[in-house]
Structure 1
Amino acid sequence: MNEHETTELAIANVVANIDGVSDRVIDGLDAEFGTATAVANASASELQRVDGIGPVLGRKIASRTSSATRNPEVHVLDDIYTKPQCSRQH
């Protein structure tokens, strides 16, 4: 896995594990921003363009994705070692 892929996975894992982020919100983020990196680069107010994201959730996503962008390997490893393995079907 290269650095870009690691960062994308870390951001996606962080977002998926935030309370209040449903599959519908994840699908909306994907439709609005296209990549996990674009989500991480969005401001809290930009994130609110997605249905289901208000000011509080927008701030949570912006704050936590910032951490995943700075230290992606920590978030990928944390997810591998602490979460049961599963995959989401599209």
Structure 2
Amino acid sequence: MTTPNELRLLPWSGPGDKPCYLSTDDPDGYMSRLADGIEAIQLGTASELLEEASEALDNQGTSLDDMRCLVKELTGALRDVYRVATSRGHLRATRDPREPTC
């Protein structure tokens, strides 16, 4: 949820890899729900890749090409998770600390 004059960093980029923002105070609006859903998918993907990376590191037979591919995927997932964390951290910082979080 955003407060008046606050923007939510969305979990996707616009043209030229520029950040996209949403201006709304309605957490149940279509775009807010869409952003929440995409963030959940991005975090789930990052979790799966983390598990895959752990397995690949434990496997002596993992090829260099497989590791390069995995690092590329992890880089994208880390970028997504960083964007989610930035957005959520900003939203948390703009909330009234006396406001319940549950």
Task: Please tell me the TM-score bracket, short chain as reference.
Answer: 0.3 to 0.5
Higher relative contact order (CA 8 A, sep 6+): 1
TM-score, normalization by structure 1: 0.33
Larger Rg over CA atoms:
2
